[in-house]
Structure 1
Amino acid sequence: MSTTLSTRSDRTTTTTAEGRQRADRAAEPRRRRSRELKFGYWWWALPGILFVLAIHYVATSIGGFFAFTNWSGIGAFDWIGLDNFVKIFQDSTKFGALLNTLFLAFGSVILSNVAGLALGLGLNRGLKSRYVLRVLFFMPVVLSPLAVSYIWKFIFDFNGPINLALRGMGLGEYAKSWTADPQWAIWTVLIVLVWQNTGIAMVIYMAGLSSVPIEVEEAAAIDGATLWQRFWHVTLPGIRPAVAIATTLGLVNGLRVFDQIMALTGGGPAGATETLATQVYKESFALGNFGYGAALALVLTVIILVFAVIQQRATSGRTEN
């Protein structure tokens, strides 16, 4: 009896071992293909990685090096240390450019996100024409900033549609050349920025709203919550990641705004719309102070990095609550 059980046990062990060997042989090609696929991923990603390194990091590092020189863009240069940065912080016009940069950045972020969230809530569900309206509101995002700015420049012109409408309503005394007025020029730039950036904020918020369960909103409505209470306690907490993305992208784009200003006002009148980005361009390419312009660009990069990190930290703290 014991001999029979031992024989059966040996057969079972042999069968199990053979099964494991067959399973290992069958799994080996899959593991080999997996390793080959992972190796292939690196080859496919390598050109993109090299482009990112060359265009962003290497170019930024070279520009950061020239920020400590007096290079004019051609010929030789001398190492001058922190002289360019001392000159920047002693120049009052650069402080005005910084204020304009912050005004446009935070103003465009606040207005475009509020408008984008309102549009996202309105076009999220229930409206039959929502697909057409989504395309129309998103269309400014894909248009060229220069082309959009030149169209708006015509709208703000002294003989443009805005002033024609004012004169038609008997308000001709309020007509003016909006982009040439030192008081109103910065507001024209802000209007164009908000008009063109609202679409991307709308799309981001609509993606976030799609993850908010309808059942939770319906339960809150049944419990007697008002529309504002449902938005503040149900909808907004559910789209906090979307708020983080939209505000961060908007802030970074606002801090480096350039195309719209150059097309609308060129930084004028009398420097009323100058920003750090336009100052970088003028110092480097118009005036030939490439080292000074590189130092100014490095300051702008640090400002963008600081605000981006602060925004991400603040947002991550909110989303964990």
Structure 2
Amino acid sequence: MLQHDTADESATEAVVVPRSGKRRGLRPKARPRRPGLLTFGHWWWALPGILMVLGIHYAATIAGGFFAFTDWTGLGSFEFVGFANFERIFGDPSKMLALGNTLFLAFGSVILTNVLGLALAVALNRLLKTRYILRTLFFMPVVLSPLAVAYIWKFIFDFNGPLNAFLTAIGMGDLARAWLGDPTFAIWTILIVIVWQQTGFSMVIYAAGLAGVPVEIEEAATIDGTTLWQRFWHVTLPAIRPAVAIATTLGLVNGLRIFDQIMALTGGGPAGATETLATEVYKQAFSLGQFGYGAALALVLTAIILVFAIIQQRVTQEKED
């Protein structure tokens, strides 16, 4: 009987266990596919975009830099004039005024938009239940067309507009003036429009940075007895330095090349009081037909943007280190 049972068990094992050693329920391993067009050559899909960037942006910049050393009028032949265009730029008081206006609008807009944007982001971070609605309202001016915004503010700053009417209604009619026609106040009106439209952009960047600050760190600082300003200066601000770098860099670059708002509000006037390098490039190259001179102005503006962007990045990097 023992031998018979042993033989039955051996036969049963031979039937249940496959001879090939494979177990039920397991699929055979799939063979690795050969790299095809979508896997190996996926960079080809970005080639059209790369060619467009190279052709439209970099090729145009190089061509403009070439014509900056010529007297080309946009049509016909041209001659090389060397650095004569640049000597003309730095020897012209009106161009120096345009350079000063460019730097004033750039740094003024960067400081105001970042301070106000950071204040709004901190205020709407965790305090209010309606913070999402308020963020949307403050961000709405960013998505509007700069020309549309400029024309709205042009109506507000008009001599017969709502601003002077409000000043007259509260007994301050002596302050009413043609704000866009006053050489002293025209540049400030442009700064107000830029700050009003761009503050929401800085607010969104800082709100994203504040979302990454751990709540535990702020609570620990509160337990240690720190004040609200001490928590902000020593805890919150160091934690959002990357957001500060992004907001200031983008704000500085956009501020140096402001064009739409100036052309819609003042056109560079009155008497050139609101001219910038960007508006001078347009007028010299396309209105007056001095393409070489306009290209030289554009090259100067590009160099200024590049220098300030590098300096800002270096300063931010040193702070992070």
2-structure distance, mates of 1:101, 1:295: 16
Match of 1:28 in 2: 32
Q: Which amino acid in structure 2 is aligned with residue 119 of structure 1?
A: L
Q: Over alpha carbons, which structure has the higher Rg?
A: 2
- Map 1:206-285; keep pairs closer than 5 Å: 206-285=207-286
Q: Structure 1 runs of 4+ off > 2 angstroms?
A: 25-29, 35-41
Residue 174 (structure 1) shift: 0.7
- Map 1:3-22; keep pairs closer than 5 Å: none
> Considering only aligned residues, what root-mean-square deviation do their CA atoms show, in Å?
1.4
Match of 2:313 in 1: 312
Residue 145 (structure 1) shift: 0.3
Residues 101-141 of structure 1, C-alpha deviation per residue, up to 9 Å, x if partnerless? 00000000000000000110111123111111111100111
2-structure distance, mates of 1:134, 1:38: 41
Match of 2:129 in 1: 128
2-structure distance, mates of 1:105, 1:302: 15
Q: Which amino acid in structure 2 is aligned with residue 266 of structure 1?
A: G
Match of 1:111 in 2: 112
2-structure distance, mates of 1:39, 1:316: 36
- Map 1:88-107; keep pairs closer than 5 Å: 88-107=89-108
Partner SS, residue 317 of structure 2: helix
Match of 1:16 in 2: none
Residue 28 (structure 1) shift: 3.4
Match of 1:143 in 2: 144
1:54 equivalent in alignment to 2:55: yes
- Map 1:179-194; keep pairs closer than 5 Å: 179-194=180-195
Residue 41 (structure 1) shift: 2.5
User: How many residues are paired up?
Assistant: 294
User: TM-score, length-normalised on structure 2?
Assistant: 0.89
With 164-173 and 241-250 compared, the bigger mean Cα shift is at 164-173
Unmatched runs of 5 consecutive residues or more in structure 1:
1-24
Residues 178-226 of structure 1, C-alpha deviation per residue, up to 9 Å, x if partnerless? 0100100000000001001101100000010011000000000010000
1-structure distance, mates of 2:230, 2:90: 47
1:82 equivalent in alignment to 2:86: no
With 202-211 and 123-132 compared, the bigger mean Cα shift is at 123-132
Residue 76 (structure 1) shift: 1.2
Partner SS, residue 39 of structure 1: coil
Residue 75 (structure 1) shift: 1.3
Q: Which amino acid in structure 2 is aligned with residue 28 of structure 1?
A: P
Q: Which amino acid in structure 1 is aligned with residue 234 of structure 2?
A: H
Partner SS, residue 157 of structure 1: coil
Residue 26 (structure 1) shift: 5.0
Residues 157-180 of structure 1, C-alpha deviation per residue, up to 9 Å, x if partnerless? 001111000000111111001010
Q: Which amino acid in structure 2 is aligned with residue 122 of structure 1?
A: A
Match of 2:9 in 1: none
Residues 217-257 of structure 1, C-alpha deviation per residue, up to 9 Å, x if partnerless? 00000100000000001000000000000000000000000
The structure with more helix, counted as a fraction of residues = 1
2-structure distance, mates of 1:126, 1:48: 43
Unmatched runs of 5 consecutive residues or more in structure 2:
1-28
2-structure distance, mates of 1:27, 1:197: 55
Match of 2:296 in 1: 295
1-structure distance, mates of 2:317, 2:213: 19
Residue 46 (structure 1) shift: 0.8
Cα distance change, pair 64–114 in 1 and its aligned pair in 2 (3 A) = same
